[in-house]
């Protein structure tokens, strides 16, 4: 599933092409792409056609395109919310371009600078979705997400925590939350209500970099260890962003259909049996909640439990 770097690469590619663009028309080819939308395909097309897109925004793994309020309803704000699911793609195409394989929705736009273009939502496995959703105030009063300076966020995204690259992310609040959790630290990293944007790949990479065993209880981490972990999470995400994300197949691509190459920089994820880049011992793979964890048992040792206080 695409994680923060892959989704951010898509957002950054969409932003200059859609900001300020007028929606000329919408074609819904498969209503399975609208599972999170409150109406049907006809409703989606009617509510979006004629609207102006203000920007492209992201929080965690969610994208949204804020829309200019409808004339006569200046206090009513909404946005097109997108989640890529397992295999979703948002692609930029020239007007009249052939229908993409697995194309579900096409949005035709007219940009004041770039002219006409189309945003195509393609999704092989149909777990991704688009929806028109209302914007609601952010609980902390800060910007809704990257690319959106207003203190609002789609209601479907309101439960998603800020990601570690968000300027409004609170390291202190994150540390305090970990102190209350007995769950394994990897499980916490994957909890999008605690910290967003980190999935299986980047959790494994960040834990390897910070020398923390994935099964370490979250509350057992010292303040210094949590700080080191957050630093490594940010460094891993930044590096993946610079390399266009991680692509293992043709499904994870940017808006131009190009794959990222961070897979060549992985130290732990997917390297079962290969030597650890740090100590040379084999990387191991263990089952983890219907997924897998990859780590070095020598560099990432599980701490011994503290003896009970008499």
User: Is 125 labelled as part of a ligand binding site?
Assistant: yes
Q: Was 181 annotated as part of a binding site?
A: yes
Catalytic status, residue 291? yes
User: H or E element: which one contains 10?
Assistant: helix 4-18
Instruction: Determine whether 27 is exposed, middle or buried from the number of CB atoms within 10 Å of its CB (0-12, 13-18, 19+).
Output: middle
Which pLDDT value is given to residue 103? 96
Catalytic residue check, 186: no
CA end-to-end span of the chain, whole Å?
A: 47
| pLDDT tens, position by position, 47-106 | 999 999 999 999 999 999 999 998 766 556 999 999 999 889 999 999 989 999 999 999
Question: What domains does the chain contain, in order, with CATH numbers?
Answer: 4-157 (3.20.190.10), 171-295 (1.10.8.50)
Catalytic residue among 2, 66, 154, 214: 2
The reply to whether 45 belongs to the active site is no
Nearest to 136 by CA among 199, 220, 75: 75
Distance CA 304, CA 40 (A): 55
Q: Catalytic site residue 239? A: no
pLDDT of residue 290: 78
Residue 125: closest CA among 251, 247, 40: 251
Residue 83 annotated in ligand binding: no
pLDDT beyond 50 at 252:
no
CB distance 59 to 160 below 8 Å: yes
Give the CA radius of gyration of the chain: 21
Both tokens of 192, joined, read 């999008």
Residues 61, 93, 162, 175: which is the catalytic one? Answer: 61
Closest CA to 123 of 101, 149, 144: 101
- Quickly list DSSP for 89-115: EEEEE-TTPPPPTTEEEEEEEEETTTE
Q: How confident is the model at residue 248 (pLDDT cuts 50, 70, 90)?
A: very low
150-169 pLDDT, tens digit each: 999 999 999 999 999 999 99
Q: Give the CB-side neighbour count of residue 3, counting CA atoms within 13 A.
A: 31
What mean pLDDT, rounded, does the chain reach?
90
What pLDDT is recorded for position 308? 47
3-state helix, strand, coil in the chain (%, to 5): 25, 25, 50
Position 73 scores a pLDDT of 66
């Amino acid at each position: 599933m695409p994680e923060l770097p892959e989704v951010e690469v898509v957002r950054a590619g969409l932003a200059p092409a859609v900001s300020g663009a007028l929606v000329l028309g919408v074609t819904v080819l498969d209503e399975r792409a609208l599972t999170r939308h409150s109406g049907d395909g006809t409703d989606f097309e009617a509510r979006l056609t004629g609207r102006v897109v203000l920007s492209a925004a992201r929080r965690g793994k969610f994208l949204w395109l804020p829309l200019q309020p409808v004339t006569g309803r200046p206090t009513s704000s909404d946005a097109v919310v997108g989640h890529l699911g397992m295999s979703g793609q948002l692609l930029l195409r020239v007007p009249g371009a052939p229908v993409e394989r697995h194309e579900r929705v096409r949005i035709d736009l007219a940009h004041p600078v770039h002219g006409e273009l189309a945003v195509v939502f393609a999704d092989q496995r149909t777990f991704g979705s688009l929806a028109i959703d209302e914007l609601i105030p952010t609980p902390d009063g800060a910007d809704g997400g990257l690319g959106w300076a207003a203190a609002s966020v789609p209601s479907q995204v309101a439960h998603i925590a800020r990601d570690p690259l968000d300027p409004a992310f609170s390291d202190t609040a994150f540390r305090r939350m970990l102190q209350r959790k007995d769950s394994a630290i990897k499980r916490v990293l994957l909890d999008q209500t605690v910290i967003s944007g980190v999935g299986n790949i980047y959790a494994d990479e960040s834990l390897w970099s910070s020398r923390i065993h994935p099964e370490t209880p979250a509350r057992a981490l010292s303040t210094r260890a949590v700080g080191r972990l957050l630093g490594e999470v940010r460094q891993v995400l930044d590096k993946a962003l610079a390399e266009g994300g991680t692509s293992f197949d043709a499904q994870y691509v940017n808006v131009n259909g190009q794959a990222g190459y961070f897979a060549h920089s992985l130290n732990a994820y997917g390297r079962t049996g290969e030597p650890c880049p740090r100590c040379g011992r084999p990387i191991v793979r263990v089952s983890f909640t219907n997924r897998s964890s990859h780590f070095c048992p020598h560099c990432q040792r599980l701490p011994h439990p503290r003896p009970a206080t008499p």
